[in-house]
Amino acid sequence: MDNAAIEEMFESLGPVKIRRMFGGKGIYFDGIILAVEVNGEILLKGDAESAPELEEAGGRQWSYDGKGKPVKMPYWSIPEPAFDDPDEMARWVRIAYGAALRAKK
């Protein structure tokens, strides 16, 4: 996904910084990472508070194969309806930022 498309997805928060990392991109707002881009997919930061809501909306947790067993990461796919509704996308972006703030503490 190109940077302009990523910036548009997160515009409800304000300007984001996008940095290359591990073959993907980290997406930061106010110096805090709130999402990553992996293999062309944007994954939002989730935590114990927001993960149940993400899962209920159809999001799936990112995991990778770590020496024969899956390693779950604190990032979730964006629920599909958000791609057609800017207000819904803004809601998920705010939820991800909240999770990122809680993780920073």
Task: Read off the DSSP letter of residue 30.
Answer: T
pTM: 0.92
* Cβ atoms of residues 71 and 64 within 8 Å: yes
What is the CATH number for 88?
Answer: 3.30.1460.30
Domain count, the chain: 1
Exposed/middle/buried for 73, CB within 10 Å: 0-12, 13-18, 19+? middle
Owning domain of residue 98? 3-104
Tens digit of pLDDT at every position of the chain (105 positions): 899 999 999 999 999 999 999 889 999 999 999 999 999 999 999 999 999 999 999 999 999 888 889 999 999 999 999 999 999 999 999 999 999 999 987
Q: Which residues contact 27 (CB under 8 A, 6 or more apart)?
A: 6, 10, 16, 17, 18, 33, 34, 35, 36, 37, 42
